[in-house]
Structure 1
Amino acid sequence: MTSLPSSPSLFPVHWAGELLQLLPERALWWPEARVLFVADLHLGKAATYRALGQPVPGGTTLENLSRLDALIERHVPQRLVFLGDFLHAAQARTVLATVEGWRARHGGIAMTLVRGNHDSHAGDPPDTLDIEVVDEPFLLGPFACCHHPQSHATHFVLAGHLHPACRLYGRGHDSMRLPCFVSDAQQAVLPAFGEFTGGLVMAQAPGRRFYAVGGESVWAVPTLD
């Protein structure tokens, strides 16, 4: 199991009247309900590209699951919610034996997958994984759990899909792109949890907040008001 720092620098936020924690592992923790939210694992993405003849590195599935293991050990969630794109494609089902072994180690945790666009191509996880599969929005407390960013009439939306990133600028022409959490008035988008997923630099907008992820820290980025 991957060993993570004993005290990583999380960032607390209050959304929908609830205290949540933005984790540097690119996940969201809801302490009161003991729910861990993760977006865009894209398990098997590298394997899919290798099947197409692309020379991409292996081991990303094990790395993703090892990071989840460490988060589960630290926070002891009662429920794990995947905000879409659990598997990358139909070809990615070759990694399912590995995923089944991982799931067996966490049989006491309820798991829910909110279907994303890649899930529609890859198909639902097999019943042996014991993962509840639902369409968006999946209502959980004050939150509407979705894959695609959207508005909801009564609930605060938690979504993925965009793999959000922000660009930080230094002196001269120096800049750095980092994954980030992005929040608007009634919606937040999580960064992609999976390795080898890329990212979309999000535009600034009035009232939009960015929380950059780098190393073992999450921090608020100055934005427009």
Structure 2
Amino acid sequence: MTDHLPITLAGAELWLLGDKAIHWPAQQALLIADVHFGKAAAYRKLGQPVPHGSTETNLARLDALLARYPSRRIVFLGDFLHAPESHAPATLAALAEWRQAHAALQMTLIRGNHDRRAGDPPAELDIEVVAEPLLLGPFALQHEPHSHPSHHVLAGHLHPVHRLRGRGRLSLRLPCFQIGERVSVLPAFGTFTGGMDVAAAPGTRLYLVGDGGVWALPGEGSAGGDAGDGDAVVVE
């Protein structure tokens, strides 16, 4: 297990990160799906007793990734804000302070279904908002995991997780990257998100994340075998 796993996808090197993101070295970019900022605040406004601190936790994780993987750009693959109620003053203040700390960083949001309901981020966050797909190199960056006629799709939306089963009723449910032949899906980055169970299938490889690490599901590595630390996995 390693904190990042290089793979080659559509001819490009991508690093699958143990903190549920992708680093694209050639573009010096971080790809982040489904943060759902302000989800806890939205639930509290509806009277649900959910804990505080998810926004600060997610921002601290982003800071750690930016410190470890120097980047010129972040692309959010949809669902930046969770709901209209996510425009809570405390949430927006935390986002504004974080944005000021990264003023030189280009940020792009590909509008997702929750963004359409929540509304775009405030203009002072200086986040470019675009409709899908955003074509960049060999990839169509999207929120919805629909195929593209000419580019390999990197998307979010589904929050994929895989259940590892042990003896008896013992099981462990972990977020995962779902890497397909034409469409690949990132796990949800946000700490306060659910997940959709996915299973290994022909033409799809699963890479599990947990405890800050990422590894290939046994039997789901490259055509040449499982990856070790620092090995590149080719999944053309």
TM-score by length of 1: 0.94
Q: How far does residue 71 in structure 1 lie from its aligned partner after superposition? A: 0.7
Partner of 1:24: 18
Pair 1:78 & 2:72 matched: yes
Q: How far does residue 223 in structure 1 lie from its aligned partner after superposition? A: 5.4
Q: Is the 8 A contact 1:211 1:219 kept in 2?
A: yes
Amino acid at match of 1:29: H
Aligned pairs (5 A) from 1:1-150 = 9-94=3-88, 95-150=91-146
Cα RMSD (Å): 1.5
Deviations 1:75-107 (A, max 9, x none): 120110000000000110111111011001001
SS at match of 1:102: helix
User: 1:190 pairs with 186, 190, 196, which one?
Assistant: 186
Instruction: Please say which of residues 146-155 and 201-210 is displaced more in the overlay.
Output: 201-210
Amino acid at match of 1:121: R
- Number of equivalent positions: 219
Deviations 1:37-59 (A, max 9, x none): 00000000001000011010000
Q: Is the 8 A contact 2:4 2:17 kept in 1?
A: yes
CA distance in 2, matches of 1:169, 1:11: 23
Q: Is the 8 A contact 2:178 2:206 kept in 1?
A: yes
SS at match of 1:185: coil
After superposing on structure 2, the runs of 4+ consecutive aligned residues of structure 1 that deviate more than 3 Å are: 222-225
SS at match of 2:81: coil
Amino acid at match of 2:191: E
Partner of 2:195: 199
Q: How far does residue 187 in structure 1 lie from its aligned partner after superposition? A: 1.4
SS at match of 1:32: helix
Partner of 1:164: 160
Q: Is the 8 A contact 1:204 1:223 kept in 2?
A: no
Task: Structure 1 unaligned segments of length 5 or more: list them.
Answer: 1-6
Higher relative contact order (CA 8 A, sep 6+): 2
Partner of 1:152: 148
CA distance in 2, matches of 1:156, 1:44: 31
Q: Is the 8 A contact 2:159 2:196 kept in 1?
A: yes
User: 2:175 pairs with 166, 173, 179, which one?
Assistant: 179
Amino acid at match of 1:162: L
Q: Is the 8 A contact 1:167 1:201 kept in 2?
A: yes
Amino acid at match of 1:108: A
Task: Structure 2 unaligned segments of length 5 or more: list them.
Answer: 224-236
Q: How far does residue 172 in structure 1 lie from its aligned partner after superposition? A: 2.7
Amino acid at match of 1:43: F
